[in-house]
Amino acid sequence: MVVFVVEGKTDIEFFRDFIEELDIQKDRYAFKNFEGKDNIFKLNHKLYNEIEGELDIVDKIFIAVDADDPKDRSPIRGYIKTQKRLEKLIDDLDFDIAIDYFIFSDQEKEKGYLESFLLSVLDDEQQKCIEKFKECYKYDLKDKWIFNEFYKQKQYPFDYSHPNFDELKQKLKNLFEGQL
């Protein structure tokens, strides 16, 4: 079984839909909701103890986190810092199973969120519409807000064949086909 270590409920909803699209049986995976990115990096978190106690049935772990914005105050923000901390976390966990990760980010791999990643697969017309609205709106709009207000209403009509899904799709295929 593969355990998905995620930041929250939205991640679980996304991965359930995405994994279903990949036609992977539900009994082959489970989720651990750490309720926030910072909690994923706490080595002594109770959910890591749960995973350790389940290693007889857990074959692999997949960690998914947002890159976030490197300008934020937390020390684990931005793609590079997140990547380095994930690699250290995996070493420190010292589980004798395969562990892989995915960082939700913009195309430049600098910053971003699950919502940014999902907005990146919109067609050009939808992206132009959102950008135009952001230009004329006097407040800074975060991708999470835009996603929740403009796009979530359509109940994830994502085109999973979009090239922005390719890297994640390949990681998950490798994960479930035992090629990590």
Report the pLDDT value the prediction gives residue 109, as an integer from 0 to 100: 85
CB 43 within 8 A of CB 5: no
Q: Are 12 and 33 spatial neighbours (Cβ–Cβ below 8 Å)?
A: yes
Predicted confidence (pLDDT) at residue 155 exceeds the cutoff of 60: no
Lowest average pLDDT, out of 31-45, 71-85, 127-141, 164-178, goes to 127-141
Q: Average pLDDT, stretch 163-178?
A: 91
Mean pLDDT score across all residues of the chain: 89
Model confidence band, residue 150 (pLDDT cutoffs 50, 70, 90):
low
Evaluate whether 111 touches 144 at the Cβ level (below 8 Å).
Answer: no
Across the range 102-117, mean pLDDT stands at 89
Contacts of 3 (CB under 8 A, 6+ apart): 29, 30, 31, 32, 51, 54, 58, 60, 61, 62
What confidence tens digit (pLDDT) does each residue in 78-92 have? 999 999 999 999 999
Please give the Cα distance from 27 to 23 (Å, whole number): 12
Q: For residues 73 and 85, give the distance between their C-alpha atoms in angstroms, rounded to a whole number.
A: 16
- Residue 61 near residue 95, CB atoms below 8 Å: yes
* Stretch 2-24: mean pLDDT: 93
Distances (CA, A) of 92 to 52, 60, 85, 95: 13, 16, 10, 8
**pLDDT exceeds 90 at position 6:** yes
Q: Are 63 and 40 in contact (CB under 8 A)?
A: yes
Question: What's the pTM value of the predicted model, to 2 decimals?
Answer: 0.89
Average pLDDT estimate for 146-162: 68
**Rounded average pLDDT over 90-108:** 93
Is residue 28's pLDDT more than 80?
A: yes
Residue 154 is predicted with a pLDDT of 58
pLDDT value, residue 97: 95
Domain ranges of the chain: 2-115+160-177
